[in-house]
Chain A
Amino acid sequence: MSKRHSNWLRCAGPALALASLLGCGPGGDQALQPTAAEGPSASVAALMKERGLSEADVNAALKTYMPTGKKDDYYIFSSGGQSGQVLVIGIPSMRILKYISVFTPEPWQGWGFGDQGSEAVLAGGDRRGMKMRWGDTHHPNLSETNGDYDGQFLFIGDKANARMAVINLTDFSTTQIVANPILESDHGAAFVTPNTEYVIEGSQYPAPLGGAYAPIEEYNEKYRGAITLWKFDRASGRIKPEESFAIEAPPYMQDLADAGKLDSDGWAFVNSFNTERAHGGNLEGQPPLESGASQNDMDYLHVVNWKKAEELYKAGKTVAINGFPVIPLETAAAEGVLTFVPEPKSPHGADVTPDGKYVVVGGKLDTHATVYDFAKIKALIEAKDYVGKDPYGVPILDFQKSIKGQVELGLGPLHTVFDDKGNAYTSMFVESKIAKWSLSEMKLIEKLPVHYNIGHIAAAHGDTVKPQGHWVVAMNKWAIDRFADVGPLLPQNFQLVDVSGPNMQLVYDLPIPLGEPHYTQIVKADRIKAIDHYSPVGSNSFSHEKDPNAVDGGQERIERRDDGVHVYMTQVRSHFTPDIIRVKQGETVHLHMTNLEQAKDATHGFGISSYNIALSLEPGEHDNVTFQADHAGVFPFYCLEFCSALHLEMAGYLIVEPAAPKVAETQKRTGGRS
């Protein structure tokens, strides 16, 4: 009898007395066992009885509870879904630490409410001259060095508008958004190569590339997908669009992606669905898109040789579409850049194992995870051993010759992550379970119910070359009955699972109440080197250098120039200098504001009534705002962050003197009285 069984028997047997309660249960720890039957154990038992808690509940609470001042071991960086943002959560406490504003204006962080820096970043994501101010963030990816998270940058794609954002993890601030010039939507984004040479952005819904028009009847001929490789420059912390390119793909719906690592470095794997090329028309005698897209039994795993693609790009074997270099489909097929392997239909994850030797694919409607053997795939490609070609000439490998095998897991395997003990954890959408299985033995070990309809799954460093184990997070699409009722729109449910013991234990439910998250990554807290203030004082939070308009203490002033009124203002607890700004109606106002503080957490906000301006000036930060003082009147401004005992007094006035009014208007305003 194994140790855990004997442990359980000890707990379940006659020793099931109050004093031993805390020593029992999964992962029970002898050290927790009280020494006396009186005291804490009795009160704990009373609490348990009162709240209806089991020993497993108490065990879970002890694993996750964070007393004040104690910090989490891991960060979760989570997609914020339709909020267009990124969430930061701590493990094991599951406390929400931050929302990072990315694609959507957010006033607390002064994101997109006047500050020129954030407005410029947001404008980088505008498309076709249209101001885009929301996004659907799906898959965050941390920058990697040698295939492991280095904690420096985070990338996240916007599925709705095919955009990519770069977040600097020194100040948890978005520094760049690029709009994909050839795609209308993405999904295989963001996925980084092992040294963050490129950030992969794969398309989702085919459309004519580059924003062109073609009738939907020409779907097969004119609609296309693409796999974009954004060049990332670590030194500047920026994507370089001028060194980026894309690979044209057939009009299938490309889905999740993963970059190869170690043995498979230089390659990328992209799932697809709808190789049927269904495109709707349910009022026109066609099956609905969803039905048409699941007619076939298999879709195609796209095997992409991105090193080869890079060579072709550098050799100029591209065509320019909307000014962006694209390797044409026929070139990609002929040169071995793009090869297909059949995969079970409607797959989701294409997850490379930590050693880079295998790719795990789940089919949402399958009962198995399929494990592809990269060495076999590579050998077949090198030998040009194809079973056929798709209608676009892309070679197809034999399914059976390409796989290591299949593991029966249950219903609806979706996405797979890994731990440090050679185990894989697959989310089982249909069954609402996590399946833990052995990669080496290709055998199911254990399943854990989760609530409900789990989508992605994440593990600590679980998609890197060095998974750390211990924690897995189930990202459940539905919460149904898990939380207090909040109307028909329900939060999502993140469930934290302890996988450190022999059995998985569900230990925490966290509602996610703003947007539907997709993927997350979990990184060890010590990898993140965050600053707590900007230095020197007057730093621009995007360049991290002193802003040309930075204001030193004592240099506050108001200057009138040809281009308008320049206000050089400082903030320090608890006043603005100057605190009265006098301008004339119609003048252009340039606010240059420096928070002189260097103290941790001494952030000042700045909001002016009726002008839609909200800024966050973190310690040492400088912001610039330009606006037209079109509305005459008196507009209080005040500090938006409770900064000191005299915070409420940290205020001032924008006085906009009316332009010489017409007589009729004066009469109207005074009600005709003189």
Chain B
Amino acid sequence: MNRILNASIRLSVSTLVLAASPLLAQKNQPAKIKAAAIQVEMIQSDEIKLPAEFQVALYENLIRQLEKNGFTHVYRDGDRNATNVADLVVLHSTVRGFKAGSERARQVTTVTGATSITVHCQFTRPDGTSLLERDVNGKVRFFGGNLKATYDFAKKAAHVAQENFSSPGRE
């Protein structure tokens, strides 16, 4: 009888520990930075020669993905409406690596011709105070045109923003 009681106590304790672990993990996560709105600057590629269509596709996809990820106010580069917004976060992106790849090679060989792009994302306040810096990459390995790498990057960058910033409409 005692053995059964012991076993049931152990089982319940271990269940409690397992159930509580995600809650503890959440407590350990760093607090999200308050961001009422985000402004996306045009992608810079001074060191790496990036085709204009990639630059524009990166920028447009990034804005679209940030809007999808719950940022209620996403301002474009140079938007005058963003000047007086409180808790504004500015996203500066600089291309650090680019491999054009080949859609034909991808489809014919499957293993070669991947397109990849690495972008350094820096989130700052309008005064230039840095809040967060990350290198985010975008890839297309099997299907799709080369520009699909820009979509992959945008999704990952928006995810980084979602993880680290709290927008009023998203909480």
**Do A and B come together as binding partners?**
no
Which residues does B use to contact A, with CB under 8 Å?
none
